[in-house]
Amino acid sequence: MPLPVVISRGGVSGGFGGSGSGGSGRPVFPSGFTGGRTHCHHVGVPRAFGSSGRWNPASQLASAAHGVIGTAPAPTAPLQVQARWRCLKRDDNNLLMSGSSNLYDPNELVGSSHVVARIPRRNRSTHGWRALAASTANPPSKTQESSSPTIRQPAGATPKGPTAPGGGFFYALDFDGVICDSEPETSASAWMACAKFWPDVFDNDAARERKEELMIKMARVRPVVETGYENMLLLRLLLEGTPVEDILDYWSVLLPETMKSWELERGDMVDFFGAERTAWMEGQPDQWLDINRVYEDVDKALAPVSGLPHCYVVTTKPQNLTIKLLKHKAMCSFPDDRVISTTVSGIPKSDILRELQQLPEAAGRTKVFVEDKLSTLLKVADVGEELDDWQLYLVEHGYVTKRDVEVAKRHPRIDVISKNEFIKLLKGEIPTPTATTTTAI
């Protein structure tokens, strides 16, 4: 059961096995602390240990919550952090603990943080405890500071990125979750691939009886997927009882932990999953095409710009599958060299954008990058000035969570747009970002 920890400006109360050293009486927030009204994430775990060397999870979460982006007027009442810990995974040697916290001022949510700690069971009370903080799929991965409060532009204002009046747009578009809803196909492909890769786990009546339930859960966890092979791991984790909520919150930690635990190699998994999908596409092309769905009216808006030299698709989907769907489902004529896939290489999309902005076709145009994966946009934003010319958009119609949307709305570089606004963007119009709200995540 999650254990509550409440942290206020004056110190720490409650906790994990008592308050621990460095708990009560240790100031959590300096008297001059002010917090920006945005979602935050703190990478690194300062103050994870008290003066006696005992690990203090309450203090660790307090440190994470302290890394709030930007500044804002001093709170009118003591800031509070409501935090919870749970055990994600355990074996003979380690506990993998996860913690999340929400920051309130005094009742309004103004930030949140996530930390994960791997704790050797045999050495739980010494400096041998190792703290691991890892970026989750949703929060920004780096704190940012400014000398003035971050002010969101109202709905209808000019987008945050630079514009080139009269020059038109240079497009870099994600595919899955932006142009095409491929979740039913990737989940079905994952089931077929898992049945061959782990026959002892999936090729039995007990697993088959749960297929419908697992397909529903796969749709829920789709927002965490960056590359297709991850669907195989997700499906097995769900079959073995990993909660959907833990996958959504901690996939960036669970993915490498699972790959290591199951002794898997990324390249092998990419090749196996890709071969299974290609075999389906080539063996039953009509069935494979039918299960993929292009978002309504997006195809009509995309078709006129697909043949132009200033429109690219940048995707983690294999190129052959993407081109097939663009041609036969979206009825778009993208040349092969303008469909850039990072499936095999694993090259970050930020590196692709660096190359694209150097093209002659990009000169004098407003460069726009449209994604449905918040973590990808955050990585681009974290690069800094080198990619500042890109206007970043998160589409609401894709594989996004409520938390993704709320985090993006508070980010100074990212605009959230609806499907209709995305269609406007493809038609050369400046979209109207979704208005910022203060709804709790």
Q: Within this chain, do residues 422 and 298 fall inside the same structural domain, yes or no?
A: yes
What residues have CB less than 8 Å from 119, skipping those under 6 apart? 55, 94, 95, 96, 97, 129, 130
Residue 361 lies in a domain: yes
Burial 9-40 (b: 16+ CB within 10 A, else e): bebbeebbeebbbbbeebebbeeeebbbbbbb
pLDDT reading at 240 higher than 50: yes
- Dihedral-angle region of residue 400 (phi above 0 means left; psi in -120 to 50 means alpha; beta otherwise): beta
- In order of 34, 68, 69, 139, 150, the CA distances from 146 in angstroms are 12, 11, 8, 18, 8
When mean pLDDT is compared across 159-173, 185-199, 210-224, the lowest value belongs to 159-173
Residues 172-181: tens digit of each pLDDT: 999 999 999 9
Residue 97 lies in a domain: yes
**pLDDT-based confidence at 96, cuts 50/70/90?**
low
Q: Within this chain, do residues 374 and 398 fall inside the same structural domain, yes or no?
A: yes
When mean pLDDT is compared across 158-172, 339-353, 369-383, the lowest value belongs to 158-172
**pLDDT-based confidence at 148, cuts 50/70/90?**
very low
Residues 29-71: tens digit of each pLDDT: 333 333 332 233 322 323 333 333 333 444 444 444 433 333 3
CA dihedral 422, 324, 189, 379 (to 10 degrees): -40
What is the per-residue pLDDT for 345? 86
What is the per-residue pLDDT for 94? 56
What residues have CB less than 8 Å from 399, skipping those under 6 apart? 176, 177, 183, 222, 223, 225, 372, 373
Q: Within this chain, do residues 106 and 206 fall inside the same structural domain, yes or no?
A: no
Cβ neighbours around 408 below 10 Å, total: 28
What is the per-residue pLDDT for 88? 54
Residues 216-237: tens digit of each pLDDT: 999 999 999 999 999 999 999 9
Smallest CA-to-CA distance from 378 within 341, 413, 336 is with 413
d(CA 182, CA 201): 25
Q: Within this chain, do residues 176 and 191 fall inside the same structural domain, yes or no?
A: no
pLDDT mean across residues, the chain: 73
Smallest CA-to-CA distance from 67 within 101, 96, 92 is with 101
How many domains is the chain built from? 3
Q: Within this chain, do residues 285 and 298 fall inside the same structural domain, yes or no?
A: no
Residue range of the domain that includes 418: 169-181+294-426
Q: Within this chain, do residues 19 and 95 fall inside the same structural domain, yes or no?
A: yes
CATH number for 335: 3.40.50.1000
What residues have CB less than 8 Å from 208, skipping those under 6 apart? none
Which range, 212-216, 331-335, 383-387, has the best average confidence (pLDDT)? 212-216
pLDDT reading at 365 higher than 50: yes
How much is the CA Rg of the chain, to the nearest whole Å? 23
Average pLDDT of the segment spanning 254-272: 96
d(CA 224, CA 137): 6
pLDDT reading at 122 higher than 90: no
Residue 243 lies in a domain: yes
d(CA 139, CA 135): 7
What is the per-residue pLDDT for 390? 97
Q: Within this chain, do residues 331 and 394 fall inside the same structural domain, yes or no?
A: yes
Domain boundary pick from 264, 290, 316: 290
Q: Within this chain, do residues 271 and 343 fall inside the same structural domain, yes or no?
A: no
One-letter amino acid at 264 equals: L
What is the per-residue pLDDT for 435? 63
